[in-house]
Chain A
Amino acid sequence: DTGVSQDPRHKITKRGQNVTFRCDPISEHNRLYWYRQTLGQGPEFLTYFQNEAQLEKSRLLSDRFSAERPKGSFSTLEIQRTEQGDSAMYLCASSLSLGAGLTDTQYFGPGTRLTVL
């Protein structure tokens, strides 16, 4: 178990550029989550996948954001036409679903810090 990994750890970009982040979950985990965290706040849910299916998206997730998990393993989060307000830490978490009606424990990666200039 190597834990959840994220790449890159830091990204600086200019406003209007597109960026893509990658998350590799714990290998046997079937759920994968994306969160955004700004300074002094807890994480805000963005979206989650069960295997390759994207099951839920937050209202916070504008149409400039898209996430994929094509083979049910790693996931990518893309932000198009970045804005300064997108500057934040983007966190990925994974979990092993215990079945319908049961919650599971999420394990987090180190995050990708995005700075939009």
Chain B
Amino acid sequence: RKEVEQDPGPFNVPEGATVAFNCTYSNSASQSFFWYRQDCRKEPKLLMSVYSSGNEDGRFTAQLNRASQYISLLIRDSKLSDSATYLCVVNSGYNTDKLIFGTGTRLQVFP
């Protein structure tokens, strides 16, 4: 089983749609969780950290379910500029600098 698993997609959605991505992780000791966004042939950029209580940043909402070991990202009112690959990232254990990156879920928003 991969340490971090994501559906590779692509998710093709029209502008204005709501889309959700899920990610599962295998290490129950993981303490830090992130969503990064990566545009084609560019570096990953932090979208948001994921907190236990869930958190929202504008149109983006992240949720964490520790019991089931999954993380979700919800994007509301999709924009063309949201088209990218979304990487689920978790740390490899308790109090460690090492991060494990999922292979990403590709989102394509069309007009």
Q: Do A and B come from one complex?
A: no
